[in-house]
Chain A
Amino acid sequence: MNFFGYKRADGRAGIRNHVLILPTCACGSESARIVASQVRGAVNIIFNTGCSDVQANTDMSQKILTGFACNPNVFGVVIIGLGCETVPHAKLREKIQSMTAKPVVSFGIQEEGGTLKTIAKAVRAARELVAEAGLQQKELCDISELLLGIECGGSDATSGIASNPAVGSLSDKLVDLGASTLMSESIEWIGGEHVLAKRAASPELHNRIIKICADYETHLKAAGQDCRAGQPTPGNKDGGLSTIDEKSLGCIRKGGTRPIVEVLNQAERPTKRGAIVMDTAGYDISSVTSMVAAGCNAIIFTTGRGTPTGNAIVPVLKVTANAKTFSWMEDNIDVDLSGIIAGELTIADAGDLLLQKIHDVCNGRLTKAEAYGFSDIAVDHFCRFV
């Protein structure tokens, strides 16, 4: 199976050709938004961290910023910084340039003499990049170039019974075709981690999965917190999910059944191909943010309650098996899998349907959230701001 994508200098393939307007910190975010609104073909993210942070938080922010810039769906990057943040624009630009050959330019608001002067320069730079991006031709890429992120959010009992197993079937089909899938949300492995760990390709990876869950609980306990107070969410409970264990046992089914070949730290780029998992929060926006930073081309997102979420540089394809949610929120949900619950669609057939839908997205079909231009982002924190 092939798709038409954008081949990048680092060997990866993109399915979009965005120019990303990237703030270094919160103080550059509004200017970045205005620049993106002025230039067709440019997209921006809002960034709420990047300053007054402990080292672990700074490391996470930097992984997200550099990961977004390096994502193969991005053609080029315009960075907007302030000047006094933890990692200023020139330093971030040099870091990104050491990781990728794509064009990167940067500006600092204090250096330029305020937002209007910065915006003027950044708009001109972005205009040149989108013009150049328009010349890059799509080429035939093997489906093995695809890294698909797998996410769930606003889950109800239909998620674990139907839409997650359907996405699991999609994951198995993609892995069998040589592609890679990435499932995250380690807090939502808790209660099902012993089942997930059985898929590990080695005892080391098995134990790593168990340890991630144990460490997560220990980390929260150190701050006097308990994951069971926030998980399941009130919406999950209304949707029939009573405990974190019940939610997790449904969540992990979206990863399919193939051996797990790699276990990643948050926002880390995979080094292997196949079924991969990553340690992230269960907070869907944060988890998607980390998977995009890891280089995912597309995200498939199951929901029961319904959600509008989208990402600036990576298409998010949303699916539900809850018939009422699909009809009620059809403007936000891409695929209706309620036929599984009605007994009219098998899990395997649903997997085939999703493969076709993802293939279309790879070839350029916009998802609903993408057409609306949604740009959700949440950067995980280890510690309070300082």
Chain B
Amino acid sequence: MTNAILLDERDNVATCTAPAHTGDTIKILGGNEIVCVEDIPCWHKVALRPIGVGEKIFKYGEIIGEASADIAAGAWVSHENIFSVPRDYVAEFI
């Protein structure tokens, strides 16, 4: 059993605290369990539910990027399948 850290209840990814292998059950600290569908290195992210292309990725309860491909629940989320979205600075001024 591998552990993963969930930082915010809005998040759709969690951070693995050890390498996870295909078929492993990952225990999400403060949450449920999920079956790993591909090998995930230590400190990398596992998708907690299916994420479609174009959907936002949440960690810390904030957007960390957008999916560039469909990502299955239990799959590895990395720079290969998510990308940073340009900021809308104008909207942030008060």
Q: Which residues of A contact B (CB under 8 A)?
A: 156-158, 160-161, 190-195, 197, 203, 206-207, 210-211, 213-214, 217, 228, 232, 237-240, 242-246, 249-250, 304, 322, 341
Contact = CB atoms under 8 A, between A and B. Distances in A.
A197 B43 contact: no
Contact of B89 (A158, A210, A242): A210
B9 to A, nearest CB: 16
B63 interface: yes
Interface in B71-92: 77-79, 82-85, 87, 89, 92
How extensive is the interface on chain B, given as a class? 20 to 34
B92 A243 contact: no
Interface in B9-61: 15, 17, 41-45, 59-60
A161 B92 contact: no
A193 B92 contact: yes
Contacts, number: 82
Contacts of A203: 94
Nearest to A253: B60
B87 A193 contact: yes
B43 A249 contact: no
Contact of A242 (B17, B64, B85): B64
Interface of B: 5, 7, 15, 17, 41-45, 59-60, 62-65, 77-79, 82-85, 87, 89, 92-94
Contact of B79 (A156, A232, A250): A232
Q: Which 4 A-B pairs have the closest CB atoms?
A: A240-B43, A246-B64, A214-B89, A157-B43
7 contacts: A191-B64, A203-B94, A213-B87, A240-B44, A243-B65, A249-B59, A249-B64
A322 to B, nearest CB: 8
A320 B24 CA distance: 28
A194 B91 CA distance: 10
Contacts of B59: 246, 249
Contacts of B45: 157, 240, 242
Given A157-B15, A160-B60, A240-B15, A246 B93 contact: no
